[in-house]
Amino acid sequence: MSTRIWKGALLTGLSIALGVVGGYWFAQQRMNAMPDGAAEQSPKTQDERKVLYWYDPMVPQQKFDKPGKSPFMDMELVPRYADSAADGADGAAISIDPSLTQNLGLRLATVTRGVLASSLDVVGVLAFNERDVAVIQARTAGFVERVYARAPGDVLKANAPLADLLVPEWAAAQEEFLALKRNGDADLLAAARQRLRLTGMPASLITQVERSSKSQPTLTLISPIGGVLQQLDVRVGMTVAAGETLARVNGLSSVWLAVAVPESEAGSIVVGQTVEARLPAFPGTVLNGTVSAILPETNPDSRTIRVRVELPNPDGRLRPGLTAQVRLNRSTEQSVLWVPSEALIRTGRRTLVMLAEDGGRYRPVEVQLGQENDGKTAILKGLEEGQQVVSSGQFLLDSEASLKGIIASTLETSPPAATASASALHEAEGQIVEINSKDVTLAHGPFKTLGMPGMTMTFPLADPTLMQGLKSGDKVRASASQTDDGLRVERLEKQGGQP
């Protein structure tokens, strides 16, 4: 029985040994069959990948040269690997599987060159044409005998009667004129007719007296033009003096459109410029006019200038006080690059777009904007004709880029020194932990103007000469500016009382 057990164990051990030897031989044959060097290749482990820098996903603009805890959040810094960076101006982009593009709702738009309709949309209010005014005055002293049924605000036709004035002085002069007419002396009659004119008697009334051979001492005041009766200062029985203003009429054959234009757009407005006006009172109707005057004063509260547009009003339906949406068409148009305005990402400090590249890659790019009109915005710098930008879903990509520490390429708009001097400086006191020609590590107090608490943090230096005369342990006052890559130290002032 024991001999049988021993033989079984021996057979089992022999089988295991043969299996190990066979497996080794099979593996060796496969290795020999592979191309030279292939056996040595294997995926890099995470530890073997090259780290460019570390960053906090919540503040991706700030880069750190070593791992550790984030000074902003209670979390570990995340490494940025060289093999995960995309080719580009800043060496960074994000990749999206093309099959997921539709699910994410991404929509692309092409950067196009063409004429961007040049116009300015503002608001305006209709007003009376102050050049179309008639003032009715008493030519001679008299008494008001009758006032017709008129009141301020009435719309009158031309030659509409307003009031009757009795002028006693005219009665004697007209009787003398009629007596000379009966005598037939032509020279004396001409002199008498001239006297009637000098008393202020209208030529029409003189003709009426001459034809009827009866005196007419009553003068009927009429409106010389059609329009709105603005003023009527006559009452039955009152005495009027020569030259006294009794009524005022504003014509309605044309009206003024007073337009408020922002002072930033004042330079693009010229007299004679064409205008389109749309009134809520008349939906679907477009009124065409021209700029007749640019008034010299500026409203100090709204920072706007007044532009006057003259609109024809043949049917009299345009009434002062009505509001209008006004489009001022620019006098010149030029070919520019433009993208849909919805593709822009406005951060408050600059404007970005998500540039679409081959293979489902997307990269944030800073752009310089021109004028905006009708849902399109001109691009002055940052893009080229034919490129594609994301016009829908770009905010999802921008958030993903921020989480991965991808920073948009910047526009070279001014020298670094000018930028630093123009930006506001934020100050804090601290102690130098480590310093070299490129950056300084500070255990600093709070930056009160930023709302940033005290912490230990590494900052880049704006100038290598800032490290001169400073060493680890020195207490300093640091002045830093806010850049697109985070805070940068512009000045380091050694505090007094130190050797």
Structure tokens at 373: 């009109």
The mean pLDDT of 482-497, rounded to a whole number, is: 79
Question: Is this prediction's pTM over 0.85?
Answer: no
Q: What are phi and psi of 189, to 5 degrees?
A: -65, -40
**How far, in Å, CA of 250 to CA of 223, rounded?**
10
**How far, in Å, CA of 340 to CA of 107, rounded?**
11
| 373-426 residue pLDDT tens | 777 888 888 888 889 888 887 666 666 666 555 666 666 544 444 343 434 688
Q: What are phi and psi of 444, to 5 degrees?
A: -110, 160
Query: What pLDDT band is residue 216 in, cutting at 50, 70 and 90?
Result: confident
Q: 3-state DSSP: the chain helix, strand, coil percent, rounded to 5? A: 25, 40, 35
Domain ranges of the chain: 2-40, 46-84, 94-117+334-403, 133-251, 416-494
Would you say 231 and 152 are in contact if contact means Cβ atoms under 8 Å apart?
yes
pLDDT score of 411? 64
Would you say 187 and 120 are in contact if contact means Cβ atoms under 8 Å apart?
no
DSSP 3-state of 99: helix
Q: Is the pLDDT of residue 95 over 90?
A: no
- In one-letter notation, the amino acid at residue 340 is P
pLDDT score of 146? 92
Would you say 471 and 428 are in contact if contact means Cβ atoms under 8 Å apart?
no
**How far, in Å, CA of 238 to CA of 141, rounded?**
11
**How far, in Å, CA of 30 to CA of 82, rounded?**
33
The mean pLDDT of 142-162, rounded to a whole number, is: 90
Per-residue burial over 68-83, b = 16 or more CB atoms within 10 Å of its CB, e = otherwise? eebbeeeeebbbbeee
**How far, in Å, CA of 313 to CA of 226, rounded?**
12
CATH no. of 133-251: 2.40.50.100
Least confident of 326-335, 367-376, 423-432: 326-335
- Residue matched to tokens 């009927």: 220
CATH no. of 94-117+334-403: 2.40.420.20
Would you say 362 and 96 are in contact if contact means Cβ atoms under 8 Å apart?
yes
| 429-475 residue pLDDT tens | 899 999 998 889 988 888 877 667 778 888 889 888 888 888 898 99
Backbone conformation region of residue 16, classed left if phi is above 0, alpha if psi is from -120 to 50, else beta: alpha
Task: Give 217's contacts (C-beta < 8 A, 6+ positions apart).
Answer: 166, 167, 168, 170, 171, 174
The interaxial angle of helices 186-198 and 168-183, nearest 10 deg, is: 170
> Using CB atoms within 10 A of its CB, is residue 282 exposed (0-12), middle (13-18) or buried (19+)?
middle
| 249-304 residue pLDDT tens | 999 999 999 999 888 777 778 888 888 999 999 998 899 988 999 998 888 888 88
More confident residue, 270 or 117: 270
Sign of the torsion angle spanned by Cα atoms 160, 162, 166, 172: negative
Q: Is the pLDDT of residue 195 over 70?
A: yes
**How far, in Å, CA of 134 to CA of 229, rounded?**
10
Q: What are phi and psi of 168, to 5 degrees?
A: -60, -35
Q: Is the pLDDT of residue 90 over 80?
A: no
What 3 state SS string does 198-258 have? HCCCCHHHHHHHHHHCCCCCEEEEECCCCEEEEEECCCCCCEECCCCEEEEEEECCEEEEE
- In one-letter notation, the amino acid at residue 152 is P
Bridge partners of 427, per DSSP, are: 479
Structure tokens at 164: 């009757």
pLDDT score of 57? 66
**How far, in Å, CA of 178 to CA of 188, rounded?**
11
CATH no. of 416-494: 2.40.50.320
Domains 94-117+334-403 and 416-494 belong to one CATH topology: no
